[in-house]
Amino acid sequence: MEIRKLARQEQPPMELLLLADPSQQLVEQYMKRGECYVAEADGAVVGVYVLLPTRPDTAEIVNVAVHELYQGQGIGKRLVNHAIQTAKAQGCKTVEIGTGNSGVGQLALYQKCGFRITGVDRDFFLRHYDEPIYENGIQVVDMVRLSQDI
Ligand code: ACO
Ligand code: ACO
């Protein structure tokens, strides 16, 4: 499995990006300003992340996703750690990430990668998404914010 930066002229893996974020409009917005990296295995794109500069010295991982057939094999962890190293190489001092209140597995993964919870953006998903979203049988309403100094 190899992780590489997606070239400007390449099509982003929209299906994967929409796994992590159901709003194509939001995805297209941050794809314009962020850097997209893909994980390739067996000659196909199996994972993705998008790193977005948000404030001076700070970048946010705004999207991370692994193809369903490849989940649970450590690819998500490698992508998140790769994103942290990329931000560090660019001189960032802080990396941030956020996930829905229902994201039990995501919260586990991010904490295993060194992130700590810094706050909750209440009603974020009610404000920014038209349709109700459910995950693990829980409605996604709040955004749990995490960060780490690097
Ligand atoms: N309890 C405890 N630990 C858990 C749980 C849980 N419920 N779920 C996952 N984990 C742990 C795993 O054990 C593993 O840790 P380990 O290596 O110490 O065993 C780690 O979290 C994740 O393992 P990976 O195999 O690296 O993860 P995967 O390749 O499956 O990718 C991802 C994780 C990206 C979240 C994937 O499931 C996915 O694409 N989901 C759909 C899209 C999504 O929700 N993306 C994130 C949205 S938030 C955002 O984009 C910023
Ligand atoms: N991902 C998604 N859903 C989960 C997960 C997970 N990782 N773990 C549990 N759930 C869900 C279950 O699916 C279930 O929901 P469902 O009925 O919709 O399927 C629900 O959470 C819990 O199910 P129960 O069987 O009712 O829970 P249980 O009888 O196991 O009791 C408890 C839970 C009290 C936390 C028990 O595991 C326990 O005693 N743990 C040790 C002590 C402890 O940690 N207590 C809480 C400390 S905090 C405090 O005391 C305030």
Domains of the chain in sequence order: 2-149 (3.40.630.30)
Q: Which residues line ligand 1 (CB under 6 A)?
A: 19-20, 61, 63-66, 71-77, 97-99, 104-106, 108-109, 112
Tell me the per-residue pLDDT of 106-120, one tens digit each, with 9 for 90 and over: 999 999 999 999 999
* CA angle, residues 149, 113, 123, in degrees to nearest 5: 80
**Ligand 1, atom nearest to 72 Cα:** 25
Mean local confidence (pLDDT), 40-63: 96
138 lines ligand 2 (CB under 6 A): no
What's the 54 CA to ligand 1 centre distance in angstroms?
24
ipTM field: 0.94
Mean local confidence (pLDDT), 44-48: 97
CB neighbour list of residue 96: distance below 8 Å, 6 or more residues apart = 54, 58, 59, 60, 61, 118, 145, 146, 147
Which ligand does the CA of 103 lie closest to? Answer: 1
Which whole-number Å values give the CA distances from 147 to 51, 59, 60, 102, 107, in the listed order? 14, 10, 9, 18, 12
What's the 107 CA to ligand 1 centre distance in angstroms?
8
- Long-range contact set of residues 85-89: C-beta below 8 Å, sequence gap at least 24: 86/35, 86/37, 86/51, 87/51, 87/59, 87/150, 88/150
Q: Of all protein residues, whose CA lies closest to atom 4 belonging to ligand 2?
A: 136
Confidence grade of residue 8 (pLDDT, cut at 50, 70, 90): confident
Q: Percentage of the chain surpassing pLDDT 90? A: 95
Q: Percentage of the chain surpassing pLDDT 70? A: 100
Three-state SS at 89: helix
Tell me the per-residue pLDDT of 80-101, one tens digit each, with 9 for 90 and over: 999 999 999 999 999 999 999 9
Which ligand does the CA of 52 lie closest to? Answer: 1
**Pocket residue to mutate for ligand 2, from 101, 111, 136, most atoms within 8 A of Cβ:** 136
CB-CB neighbours of 103 under 10 Å:
19
H or E element that contains 107: helix 104-112
